[in-house]
Amino acid sequence: MMKAITITQPGGPEVLQLTEKPEPAYTDNEVLVKVMAAGINRPDVAQRKGNYPPPAGAPKDIPGLEIAGVITAVGANVKRWKPGDKVCALVIGGGYAEYCNVPEGQCLPVPDNLSFAEAASLPETFFTVWSNVFDRAYLQPGESLLVHGGSSGIGVAAIQMATALGSIVYVTAGSPEKCKFCEDLGAVKAINYNKENFSEAINSLTNGKGVDVILDMIGGGYTPLNVKSLANEGRLVLINSMKGKTAEVDLSEVMRKRISITGSMLRSRDVEFKSAIAQNLEKHIWPLLASGKIKPVIYKTFPAAAASKAHVLMESSAHMGKIVLSFE
């Protein structure tokens, strides 16, 4: 048996309870990880509320999409990892627990200069940003990127990754403190969306050209403003729709600018797809983590038993950076 944070019923943060569950089984292509820390993400909140059913094969009542810890056992077909290896990993669910099974290819080594809590803050956001900004929107060095929600976990990852790889980053954020936080991380300019129209600001900042790529988790009424903010051949990538799933867009502007509108959901993708992202991260981003050019940004770490308090903080949007649970 193991300790796990379970969703006792759909509802508010109080439905997260520390319980005992059987340790998960692992297949021939998986490893079993003793979890030392787990990252908190907005999909966890949606799952807790009953709005985001886990995909097939994921635990129905244990949330958590990213972990860091020590491998305790490996499947018969596992070639790279061995018991005792320190890894962080993107998981399909079940991360809020003392043990979690993970496909071999979705694990990455914990850089020597990072703690387990820091490593656990990386996978979900770094996989998401790489897949959408670099693979799907093919952001290039010298191009510009606008990230909505710059002080979120996704924002922190996108600012640092894109800047480190030679792109110009603009963000939106909701307060002067959050704007300064984003600029300190490397954003050229943070736009306070409570005081400015971000589309007008972007067009002013770019001398009317617009940005090459927009990473948007807001949706709804942001969509027509995103179209106005894009340059010719611009790419809009949607990864959430926090402010609405529908939008009215001027299609003539999409055609005139030759804009591409796309989006994706990572959790339901197969192991091969996620493993390919892991390989790209290890090649292009992990050396930058090891050198300190890119750094994990943790706002607060909670003991696992206080998962409900961590969710209250996540829903408040007061945090800047990642929220982590510790099982140490």
Tell me which of 3.40.50.261, 3.90.180.10, 3.40.605.10, 3.40.50.720 is the CATH number of domain 126-263.
Answer: 3.40.50.720
Instruction: Tell me the CA distances in angstroms from 31 to 37, 75, 234, 328, one per residue in order.
Output: 16, 6, 41, 20
Q: Does 39 score more than 90 pLDDT?
A: yes
Q: Please compute the mean of the pLDDT values over residues 139-165 and round it to a whole number.
A: 97
pLDDT tens digits for 267-310?
989 999 999 999 999 999 999 999 999 999 999 999 999 999 99
Q: What is the pLDDT of residue 326?
A: 97
Cα–Cα dist 35/88, whole Å: 9
Per the document, the length of the chain is 328
pLDDT tens digits for 101-149?
999 999 999 999 999 999 999 999 999 999 999 999 999 999 999 999 9
Q: What is the pLDDT of residue 289?
A: 97
- Strand-pairing partners, residue 169, are 145
Q: Please compute the mean of the pLDDT values over residues 218-247 and round it to a whole number.
A: 95
Q: What is the pLDDT of residue 282?
A: 98
Q: The dihedral of CA 243, 248, 250, 253: what is its sign?
A: positive
pLDDT band at 22 (very low <50, low <70, confident <90, very high): very high
pLDDT tens digits for 40-60?
999 999 999 999 999 988 999
Instruction: Map out the domains of the chain as residue ranges.
Output: 2-122+270-326, 126-263
DSSP-derived letter for residue 236 is E
Look at domain 2-122+270-326 and name its CATH class: alpha beta
Q: What is the pLDDT of residue 58?
A: 92
Q: Please compute the mean of the pLDDT values over residues 312-320 and round it to a whole number.
A: 95
Helix (H, G, I), strand (E, B) or coil at 22: coil
pTM over 0.85: yes
High-pLDDT (> 70) share of the chain, %: 100
Q: Which residues, 6+ apart, have CB-to-CB distance to 227 below 8 Å? A: 236, 249, 250, 253, 254, 257, 259
Ramachandran class of 233: left when φ > 0, alpha when ψ lies in -120 to 50, beta otherwise: left
Q: What is the pLDDT of residue 328?
A: 87
For the chain, the average pLDDT equals 97
Instruction: Tell me the CA distances in angstroms from 201 to 189, 190, 196, 221, 254, one per residue in order.
Output: 10, 10, 7, 17, 20
